[in-house]
Structure 1
Amino acid sequence: MDPAPLPTRLLGSAPPPVTCLGLGLAALGRPGYINLGHGQDLGAAKDVEALRTRAWAVLDAAWAAGLRYFDAARSYGRAEEFLGGWLRERGHAAAVGSKWGYTYTANWRTDAETHEVKNHTLATLERQWPETLEVLGRPDVYLIHSATLETGVLEDERVLARLAELAAEGVRVGLSTSGPGQAGTLRKALAVQVDGVNPFSVVQATWNLLEPSVGAALAEAHAAGWGVVVKEAVANGRLTSRGQVPSELADLCQELRTTPDAIALAAALAQPWADVVLSGATTVEQLQDNLAALWLTLTPEALDDLAQRPERYWGERSALAWT
């Protein structure tokens, strides 16, 4: 018998039902990623089957803990393949999100000059949607991967029309955001119209204690009925014991007898506009540490003083090495 999931809620104002904590596979689908200590987590076994086994082990642990939202992307190496295979093999039914717009180019190497290439054209969408269907199955949520104002994707009438078709077929379409301009990108997406209707209804954004600048825009999206998914809540490892933990956070860890990542995730879970907060765990042990966030109670304003200027935060993130 399957364990009981965590309590579910709608993703914004519409299905699918989701749990407050989900699992993202950015670090599980490929041998190289920018999380601190990623190479150390994987060890010497970085072939496809070793990573599949690891991904399934973390997915099994997440399922056993009650998580019922799982996130992948075309550019996460074989993450869609791993997730789709796991769902079929286990016979599980869960809410699933994926993303289009980046192509994985590292060829399973950690020392590749380029790991992924961004292209938000209709040609990429038309190529990647069938690829997702083949290996993952039909996702509940399908997002433009790291949409920005600079790519012009939110003004591309052909892309928007195709996404509107998918929305009409019952897929929740939307965008993920990155960079210091997240709020501006999201607000532009909130105003998109195709034949008088906005096809978008989900956003996945980077929000954490170091980079909370998109929070007000996320509140606006949630008030409009959008689903809100939080990614990078532990700042790619900077808000874990592997990072340079700020003294305020270290003191709270000691007081609550928990880990920095648990507090960072609990801070995201405390935001009233957050429907799902993603764990990006690479190991079962990391996931277990992350799960402690479910039993912590923080106010939405907890540790506000840790916030950095967005430009500083994103500059430091861009300097992280792929390992």
Structure 2
Amino acid sequence: MPFARLASATTPTCHIGLGLAAVGRPGYINLDREEDLGEDRSVDALRTRTHELLDAAYAQGVRYFDVARSYGRSEEFLADWLNARPDVVDVVVGSKWGYTYTAGWTTDAAQHEVKDHSLQTYERQRAETDQLLGDRLDLYQIHSVTPDSPALTDKELHARLAEAAAGGLTIGFSTSGPAQADAIRAALAVTVDDEPLFRTVQSTYNALETSAGPALAEAHDAGLTVIVKEGMANGRLAAEHAPDALRSVAEETSLGADAVALALILREPWAGVVLSGAATVTQLASNLHAAVVDLDEDQLARLATLVEEPAAYWQQRGQLPWH
């Protein structure tokens, strides 16, 4: 698996990756985007911003980069950066298929992305991803699998994904929603010729939403690499919005609330890679401090009080505006 490259890394930040959801398109649901991105969200402006983030991340030891077909031009921006940096050969590149970006580079579209886990969508988006990333693609994930997703039962799709795996591509899936644990366990049961199909899982897990934890531990024990997304809860755990318990622990560590929030995830033994979704180089630098945060038992107990009921968490997430 390509993640063996990360397992052998020795930098403190080797278990932190950079996701480009927030900078690959002008509109997203993260809080405070007005301050982070400003008014200029042209293709060129976001391309430049993405390249600055990639440069900074790579220089500080980050080696996993995460994009998706639905993240606007994130694959294109990453491909441009890789093509301009032929010396960068030690990174792991992951993308996702299953959502189509439909916002037309606007922030006020009626619908920003359309979900479809059919074989036809896989074939179309796989060709689109290959055109941009080619053999630099290491990991291809089904985007946001839920327990009722046809991707869990479509045998023809499974066969095509197994063909891709036989060709050297790692196949994974991501999850979203209050039933993430059920989706993870259902995916672990998917096999082709009695062999597990999926080798990675990417799920939402943070100080507010921990319900997928036991299932992620099971996935890890089954040999999957676990990638954690939305560790900052779409900005709800950033300094400007952090709950009092998180804010007080951050003050005690003399680091940012974001670093503490990500450190809380990094300490989980099953967490292979924790994604930063930084939109600025300053945010990224603060996020990367998570690698050196040491939390004591009292601090962990106080942070544990932040956990919300999954249904309430996902309801609030679903109400976040695209802006």
TM over 0.5: yes
Residue 64 in 1 paired to residue 62 in 2?
A: no
What TM-score do the two structures reach when normalised by structure 1? 0.93
Letter in 1 for 2:265: A
Aligned partner of 1:181 among 175, 179, 182: 179
Aligned partner of 2:294 among 280, 290, 297: 297
Give the Cα separation in 2 of the matches to 1:195 and 1:164.
9
Match of 2:191, SS? Answer: coil
Letter in 2 for 1:117: V
Give the Cα separation in 1 of the matches to 2:76 and 2:291.
29
Aligned partner of 2:153 among 146, 155, 161: 155
What does the per-residue CA deviation read over 1:171-191, in whole Å, with 9 as the maximum and x for residues that have no partner?
Answer: 110100000000000000011
Equivalent pair of 1:22/1:67 in contact (CA under 8 Å): yes
Instruction: Please name the residue that 2:105 is paired with.
Output: 108
Instruction: Please name the residue that 1:137 is paired with.
Output: 134
Instruction: Please name the residue that 1:281 is paired with.
Output: 278
Match of 1:46, SS? Answer: coil
Distance 1:230 1:314, change over 3 A: same
Give the Cα separation in 2 of the matches to 1:277 and 1:64.
18
Identity between Structure 1 and Structure 2 (%): 54
Matches within 5 A, 1:251-266: 251-266=248-263
What does the per-residue CA deviation read over 1:205-252, in whole Å, with 9 as the maximum and x for residues that have no partner?
Answer: 000000011000000000111010000000000000232x22211111
Equivalent pair of 2:29/2:234 in contact (CA under 8 Å): yes
Match of 2:54, SS? Answer: helix
Following superposition, which runs of at least 4 residues in structure 1 exceed 3 angstroms of deviation? Answer: 14-18, 299-302
| Superposed displacement of residue 73, structure 1 | 0.2
| Superposed displacement of residue 88, structure 1 | 1.2
Q: Which runs of 5+ in 2 are unaligned?
A: none
Equivalent pair of 1:142/1:174 in contact (CA under 8 Å): yes
Instruction: Please name the residue that 1:4 is paired with.
Output: none
Instruction: Please name the residue that 1:236 is paired with.
Output: 234
Give the Cα separation in 2 of the matches to 1:38 and 1:114.
19
What does the per-residue CA deviation read over 1:115-160, in whole Å, with 9 as the maximum and x for residues that have no partner?
Answer: 0000000000000001101112231111000011222210011111
Residue 311 in 1 paired to residue 311 in 2?
A: yes
Give the Cα separation in 2 of the matches to 1:69 and 1:273.
17
| Superposed displacement of residue 197, structure 1 | 1.2
Instruction: Please name the residue that 1:6 is paired with.
Output: none
Letter in 2 for 1:73: A
Instruction: Please name the residue that 2:82 is paired with.
Output: 87
| Superposed displacement of residue 195, structure 1 | 1.6
Instruction: Please name the residue that 1:25 is paired with.
Output: 20
Give the Cα separation in 2 of the matches to 1:217 and 1:143.
18
Which moved further from structure 2: 148-157 or 65-74? Answer: 148-157
What TM-score do the two structures reach when normalised by structure 2? 0.93
Match of 2:287, SS? Answer: helix
| Superposed displacement of residue 15, structure 1 | 5.9
| Superposed displacement of residue 299, structure 1 | 6.0
